[in-house]
Amino acid sequence: MTDQLASASSTTLHLLGRFSELYTGAERELLDLRGLLAGRRPVRLWSDVPVNPAYAGEGITAIQPFAHQFPKDGTLLMGGVHLQPGIWLKYTRFERIILLHNLSNQGQLFAIVESVRESTGLDPELVFVSKLLQRSAALPGRVIPSLIELAPFLKVAAERFGESPGGAVASRPFTVGRVSRDFLDKHHPHDLALYRMLASRGVRVRIMGGTCLAPGLGGEPGIELLPAGAEPVPEFYRSLDAMFYRTGMFTEAYGRVVLEAMGAGLPVVAHTAAGYAEVIEHGASGFLIESQEQAYDALMALKGSAGLCRQTGLAARKKAIDVHGTQATERDLAFYLR
């Protein structure tokens, strides 16, 4: 058995993503997974489209089928159903193919599963990032929350709660914010009115990935709209007192930015219709809302009580550690090291 495990751990794990855009959750997870497996299994990163120059130095190889440049054996992890593997898949001899399902689009899931079967003769092993997603797909598989390198966020939390030395927090208004890609469908249509109401009550609002909201919010006092990636995410969370999150046109399959915020010790107010709702205990480690009124009331309650902020933030950090800490991560990594 030992020899078999050693042999398995020596074969290459190929991580396939779409590295044409920055700040996408699926590709961030692949980069984190590569880091978590460093020194434990050979790992190689691939992109099914040309690689964005901003990823230079990450060691990502763009697939070029006619130059015979593509993964061929070992284990293939396909990092999402947004990928479109080409004809090259027919010329591979993988031992395992793992499909990470992280979008609320079951049609794409069924199509890619069928494509993999036809091209390789293998049934892909399905990994769902939340129970919500597995239930909606009604297919067998394994639920593994998005793998997150939590340490940078826990450092922010330790400073926030006075458990380690860090830069003193300057006197500032109570600050609410969020992180996402800079696309309108990442934002709920009612968010603009909520941000205006909060700003009118003296709340500072910071939205990283919010320049798409400029036509409706640009120039509003107390509201700062930043492009995606304007600041490192842990540093951005250091500037907040609470996080607010809901999306517009689609259901968030998991929402790793929410768990990162919890790891940073932030109380989170977020919409119920998402995978992260499985992690948040309403009223304890965060607040789950369904309406504009509930969102406003929860955020104003946090503004009015430093004790509630601290109590919720501490519980949020504990929950993030339970789900993404070392013990949980080692258990989940065993699946990829098998």
Q: What is the CATH number of the domain that holds 108?
A: 3.40.50.2000
Residues 55 and 193 in one domain: no
Residues 111-126 have pLDDT tens digits of 999 999 999 999 999 9
| DSSP 8-state symbol, 121 | S
Residue 169 shares a structural domain with residue 317? yes
Residue 209: pLDDT over 50: yes
Predicted confidence (pLDDT) at residue 319 exceeds the cutoff of 80: yes
Identify the domain containing residue 65 by its residue range: 2-144
Last residue of one domain, picked from the residues 96, 122, 144: 144
pLDDT at 25: 86
**Residue 166 pLDDT grade (very low, low, confident, very high; cuts 50, 70, 90):** low
Single pTM value for the model: 0.90
At 10 the pLDDT is: 67
262-284: average pLDDT: 97
Percentage of the chain beyond pLDDT 70 is: 96
Tell whether 52 and 113 lie within a shared domain. Answer: yes
What is the reported pLDDT for 2? Answer: 39
For 14, residues 6+ apart whose C-beta sits below 8 A from its C-beta are: 43, 44, 46, 71, 74, 75, 76, 77
Q: Rounded to an integer, what distance in angstroms lies between the CA atom of residue 100 and that of residue 324?
A: 17
299 shares a domain with 178: yes
3-class SS shares of the chain: helix, strand, coil, % to 5? 45, 20, 40
